[in-house]
Amino acid sequence: MTLLLVPVAAFFLTVMLVPVVARVARQYKLLAHPSNDRWHASAVPNVGGAAMFLSIGGVLGFAGLHTELLPLMLLTGVIYAIGVADDLFPLRPATKLVLQMGAAAIFLTLLPVLRITGIAALDLALGFVWIVGITNAVNLLDNIDGLAAGVSALAGTFFLAVLLLDSGGAPTAIALGTAAFIGAAAGFLLFNFQPASIFMGDGGSHLLGSFLAGATLVAAPSLGSQLAPIAAIPVLLLLIPIFDTAFVTVARGLAGRSAFLGGRDHTSHRLVALGIGERRAVLVLYALTCVGGGVALGFMLLSRRVAWSLAGFYAMLLGTIGVYLGHIEVARVDGDQTAPLPSEITNRYRAYEAGLDALLLGSAYYLAFLARFREPQFSEFLPHFIRSLPLVVGLQLVTLWVSGKYRRVWRSLDVGEIFALTRDVLFGTAAAVIAVLYLTRFVGYSRSVFVFDAILAPVLIIGARVVLSWVDQYVRRHRQRGRTALIYGAGRGGALATRELLQNQALELTLLGFVDDDPAKRRLKIDGLPVLGSLDDLPALLDRHQPPVSVVIVSITELPAERFDRVCAICAARGVAIRRMRFSLEDVRRRPPRDSRVVGFPRS
């Protein structure tokens, strides 16, 4: 009951404190004003972290503050004070860093001996880096409404699950502290999610980061006896702030800018630049945080090799996202929808496509070994996998290159392309089998592994292409802006018009769906857009649809005159514009140039 009551009490106490803190902040002009490196357009209270700090301290004090939590609360309080000082009297980055390191030194001194690697000096150094790094990572993550609070609450939730699994469900002191933290962050998120009515400020972000960093160090001795699970679980839980910090640091370093300066070039900002909107961008990062939390739980629930496999796939996913977002120009974040699509990146930079294929083919080969062998056989055959991995993946990539995969422009995925990809990957697998047979006579290898690989490799390659096509389509739909439109005709002409409107932003039309007289097409979706009704339903659609329809596009080239006149009459009565799609090939006769004389260099 205590474990349930603590987060609920922290949640409601934060909800009650936030309006009070906001009122005090407005009274004393403690506001964040609009600037070039901020999203908001009006002054917003900037000391919301006080509500979370008071809530966590109050609930834990009432519940009985355990001695085990005193070093953590001291660390959190000191670093929170440093953040508040930076909000009130902006500090230099070096000054903040020194103060944070001092707080970390006090915390590590009060903490029992930290055992991560077993080397005392190295463990202390790792503790310093972890506390200061995570504190500043969460501070940098607080760059868009609701992101830092939501990611911290989710990471805390998965961390609490890890703690409960480790203790067999017993509510330890660190579990109660984490529960209070989750409740406070969730309560603050109600006011901080887009559009935010209050910001947490540097004090709030320092509070969230230092608590998570300190809590994971307090719990580290109980998470395992080896370095791998001890280090992997906290890193996976907090990989989104770590990833964002690393991404910004590298991107700004390549651009010749300081990583300590503010800017609108974080992962969240670049996701918004895709046209998916601020809320969806934050939800994407929430989802990635949940994936990391699930992988962290895998180290507690699954075998080590499966858990490390999932961690590798998660790292691959974030790496792919980082490469893609790195090609979105920072200057375009302000709403100019010209960011490249994933397929455009891979078509323009073939090295990325080949690199992605190499990761997928290597993963398929590893999963084939994983499916074939169980422990202890898996460990026995793992050296054979490592030795043959470059050969197998290399031959498969060469086969894909010879077949022309890296010379094709991928726009969509049809049956012919699926067949071609499957054939090419199978040829590559066959070449790998022949090479392994010639070099090793299959000593130390299993034929079943290559059978599994022949199944998994095409699935992963085609699956990646399907995902890229889906992301392309999703981004195109959410980039649309301008007047809303319906298309009359859900046949080939309607599909052609849809693709043109989704790709051509200069037309400034947002598609809502189709109207078609064929009853068989009712409730179908074409390129993700629904067939909403027939011509008989058009008047009701124009009268009642929200948002209201501004344009009707006629895509049927041979539409009978009486039907076209009826569409015109319906639209004219409601002030709706009509556009008719036409497709033509103009015959242009080539004319000789005006002056056909050869122009050369004058003779000396």
The tens digit of pLDDT for each residue in 270-291 reads: 888 887 888 999 999 999 999 9
Query: pLDDT at residue 595 above 60?
Result: no
Comparing 68-77, 174-183, 332-341, which segment has the lowest mean pLDDT? 332-341
Query: pLDDT at residue 203 above 90?
Result: yes
Segment holding 509, helix H or strand E: strand 509-515
Query: pLDDT at residue 336 above 50?
Result: no
The sign one gets for the Cα dihedral 268, 34, 153, 74 is: positive
- Grouping H, G, I as helix, E, B as strand and the rest as coil, residue 45 is strand
Confidence of residue 333 (pLDDT cuts 50, 70, 90): very low
Q: Record the pTM.
A: 0.78
Q: How many residues belong to the chain?
A: 604
Angle of helix 201-219 versus helix 147-167 axis, rounded to 10: 20
Residue 428, classified by CB atoms within 10 Å of its CB into exposed (0-12), middle (13-18) or buried (19+), is: buried
What is the pLDDT, as a whole number, of residue 79? 96
Kindly report whether the peptide bond that precedes residue 547 is cis, defined as omega within 30 degrees of 0. yes
Q: Could you tell me the end-to-end alpha-carbon distance of the chain, in angstroms, rounded to an integer?
A: 100
What is the pLDDT, as a whole number, of residue 602? 44
Domains annotated on the chain, with CATH: 2-339 (no CATH), 344-476 (no CATH), 480-580 (3.40.50.720)
Q: What angle do CA 287, 364, 241 make, to 5 degrees?
A: 25
Comparing 61-65, 207-211, 489-493, which segment has the lowest mean pLDDT? 61-65
334 DSSP assignment: G
Contact 511, 487 (CB under 8 A): yes
Nearest alpha-carbon partner for 59 in 110, 2, 111: 2
Nearest alpha-carbon partner for 141 in 253, 288, 252, 244: 244
How far apart are alpha carbons 246 and 269 in whole angstroms?
A: 15
The tens digit of pLDDT for each residue in 206-241 reads: 999 999 999 999 887 666 544 455 678 899 999 999
Kindly report whether the peptide bond that precedes residue 171 is cis, defined as omega within 30 degrees of 0. no
Segment holding 147, helix H or strand E: helix 147-167
How far apart are alpha carbons 343 and 515 in whole angstroms?
A: 30
Q: Give 596's Cβ-side CA count (13 Å radius).
A: 3
Rg over CA atoms, the chain: 29
Sequence-ordered list of residues with C-beta below 8 angstroms from that of 168, at least 6 positions apart, any chain? none
CA 359 to chain centre: 19
Please state the rounded mean pLDDT for residues 127-132. Answer: 93
How far apart are alpha carbons 336 and 349 in whole angstroms?
A: 23
How far apart are alpha carbons 285 and 292 in whole angstroms?
A: 11
Max Cα-Cα span within the chain: 100
Please state the rounded mean pLDDT for residues 41-56. Answer: 90
How far apart are alpha carbons 127 and 239 in whole angstroms?
A: 17
Contact 501, 485 (CB under 8 A): yes
Nearest alpha-carbon partner for 413 in 352, 341, 472, 489: 472
- Grouping H, G, I as helix, E, B as strand and the rest as coil, residue 512 is strand
User: Can you list the alpha helix ranges (DSSP code H) found in 441-491?
Assistant: 447-479
